[in-house]
Amino acid sequence: MDDVPLTEPSSFGGMKAAAMPAYPSMINRPRYHDLRAFDPSSPLRVQEATAPIPRARTSLTGVPGDVDEMIAIFDACLRVDNLERAGLVLKRLSAVEGVPSQELMILGNQFLRASLEQLRSHPDRKQAGDLHKWYELFVRGKGLPQTAETVACMLKASLLSEHQPDRLDRLVLRYMSMAPGEAGLRVLSLPNIQPRPRRAFCGS
């Protein structure tokens, strides 16, 4: 069988072969993960980022450590009646060194007024009991300089929530003993402190 002559590579069926692009060899190309030789004439310069604003440390309850931020959160909690979180912020604030006791008592009275308003709207003996515990720990436990308003709020909280005459008498006598003499008169002169008639507790 005779050998068939090979067709010229430049033509096939009257069509010219497409010119193949000349690609460089992949063997000698540098790989990105290869280390390059250090060139001291062109050192790599890294742009230093601007120092971020330091953030205050936050407790496990989500309360920040900055005093101004804590006071802002405390005010916001009172506005939306979130007294539980307001109490946590106040507790954290009382642990900060350097905060004057008078300032803590002012904030404590704000917390008492907000709690009193909530008790007026929804009298709750358990909530009142929690308020008495808060008073013992935050005010008396820390030796804060309570005012006539402090005692008046605790008196009113007792009057709004306590339905047992004997316990109510004990609470009234206890809080009034903390404001003897003229201080007691100032407490009684504050609005909405006068006790309810005793018949309101009968049969409760």
Helix axes 101-121, 148-161, angle to 10 degrees: 20
Predicted local confidence at residue 185, as pLDDT = 62
3-state secondary structure of 50: coil
What global pTM score does this model have? 0.61
Domain residue extents for the chain: 67-190
Structure tokens of 37?
């030789």
Check residue 137 and give its pLDDT: 92
Q: What does the pLDDT read at residue 196?
A: 44
- CA 66 distance to own-chain centroid: 11
Report the DSSP beta bridge partners of residue 11: 16
Q: Kindly tell me the sign of the dihedral angle through the C-alpha atoms of 176, 129, 162, 83.
A: positive
| The pLDDT of residue 63 | 60
pLDDT digits (tens, 9 = 90+) for 93-128: 988 888 899 999 999 999 999 998 988 888 888 888
pLDDT at 64 over 60: no
Mean pLDDT, residues 159-165 taken together: 84
